[in-house]
Amino acid sequence: MRGFRSDVQYCSFCGKPGDEKRHLVAAPSNNIFICDKCIAVCQGIVSQKEKSVDPIDMTEVPSPKEFKAYLDEYVIGQEYAKKALSVAVYNHYKRMSKLDVIKTDDDVKIEKSNVLLIGPTGSGKTLLAKTLAEKLKVPFAIADATTLTEAGYVGEDVENVLLKLINAADGNIPAAERGIIFIDEIDKIGRKSENTSITRDVSGEGVQQALLKIIEGTQASVPPQGGRKHPNQEMLQIDTSNILFILGGAFVGLDKIIEQRIAAHSLGFGSNVGTMDETQRMELLNQCTPDDLVKFGIIPELIGRMPISVALKELTKADLTRILTEPKNAITKQFKASFEMDDLDLDFTAEALDEIAETAIKQKTGARGLRSIVEKLLMDLMYEAPSIKGKKHLTVTKDIVVGKVKPDLEQLKIEQQPA
């Protein structure tokens, strides 16, 4: 080879000679070398290949009915919400499959359909979003809108929501760009009034404006370690165009705004919200219009990016009782499985389950509070049971739930003594 010196080693890939600035690594075969620069290029190619995601195959995406059937296994009640979410998520991934193919100028652009969930605490908003993400096997992140502040103020930048999704995807940004983000308590950052204030609304309208940018789709810069952005800091770049956003909130008082609008259009003959049952209230919330949300304090631009709004009803005692026993990961099933590891067979009477549900209603915690109630109820048993050898059995009764009697741990020992 002309121009190559026989006493100098060359990289077999780029052909450049090895020196103090270009280190060569020898292969097991003779006279085969690769320089550190080419190694770095190869590592980048391999890393990019590992973090790429295949185009979406719609044959692998469940149909809306299959989504709904899966949600039924984990979420009790909320039939309309499950149906609406199933359709929304299916349409979202159908839209993304279209983006994966070569498009022409004549192709119709399908816009993203983010979802707004309106429902009281403990009604299942977070569980619905999380269960959908598990079914799709996509990264999922949860954020609380009340912790977010506008850039430049003390608090958490809106972009940190995206960092949670990137972390959930183990740093695989292409996978994160197909994930789902659930932002709860969105109603808590509503403007205090419909009129724009001359003062800065750090945790209200400012945060809504910041959220709007990432929800509608943008190339966002995210600090890799979270926190505030700094000059000269290397940023992670993520495209939010295909991330599905599900926003949730209790929106206390929204039903009254809707009722006043309907009553005004009915010449004053509106029903009294205070006398409505939960089904009527949910039907009223499902008639929510963008104007109602603007009056509540959500900016019109953000409402425009949430075309689907779904109301969730407050769970009844019957719903909570079913939640305790029926889902695949029901709370009582979890505790039974845990106690089985300590050779203890645990049962609950129907009256005990009713009382636990009644306690959750009194505490106004919904389904979210059920686990803490059962956890507190069985704390002494979880402490003592591992020390009691042999097969054991306990039936949790209503008297145990209300505190009239305590689980008879000594009786568990006596039952194990030979006759």
Residues β-bridged to residue 307: none
Q: Which residues of 228-249 are buried (b: 16+ CB within 10 A; e: fewer)?
A: eeeeeeeebebebebbbbbbbb
Question: Which amino acid is present at 65?
Answer: K
Residue 154, C-beta contacts closer than 8 angstroms, at least 6 positions apart: none
Task: Say if residue 35 carries a ligand binding annotation.
Answer: yes
Residue 48, C-beta contacts closer than 8 angstroms, at least 6 positions apart: none
- Would you say 273 and 281 are in contact if contact means Cβ atoms under 8 Å apart? yes
- Would you say 160 and 149 are in contact if contact means Cβ atoms under 8 Å apart? no
Nearest to 310 by CA among 291, 288, 294, 295: 288
Task: Say if residue 38 carries a ligand binding annotation.
Answer: yes
Query: Residue with structure tokens 């724009």?
Result: 196
Give the three-state DSSP class for 340: helix
Task: Say if residue 297 carries a ligand binding annotation.
Answer: no
Task: Say if residue 42 carries a ligand binding annotation.
Answer: no
> Is beta strand 219-222 parallel, antiparallel or unpaired with respect to 236-239?
antiparallel
- Would you say 141 and 80 are in contact if contact means Cβ atoms under 8 Å apart? no
Q: What is the DSSP letter of 197?
A: P
Of how many residues is the chain composed?
419
Tell me how far apart the alpha carbons of residues 288 and 283 are, in angstroms, rounded to a whole number.
9
Task: Say if residue 227 carries a ligand binding annotation.
Answer: no
Task: Say if residue 124 carries a ligand binding annotation.
Answer: yes
Query: Residue with structure tokens 């010196």?
Result: 5
Query: Residue with structure tokens 């009722």?
Result: 259
Tell me how far apart the alpha carbons of residues 91 and 87 are, in angstroms, rounded to a whole number.
6
Task: Say if residue 122 carries a ligand binding annotation.
Answer: yes
Tell me how far apart the alpha carbons of residues 235 and 51 are, in angstroms, rounded to a whole number.
17
Task: Say if residue 288 carries a ligand binding annotation.
Answer: no
Structure tokens that stand for 173 in this block: 């940004």
Nearest to 228 by CA among 278, 166, 153, 289: 153
Residues of the binding site for Zn(2+)? 11, 14, 35, 38
Residues of the binding site? 11, 14, 35, 38, 120-127
Residues of the binding site for ATP? 120-127
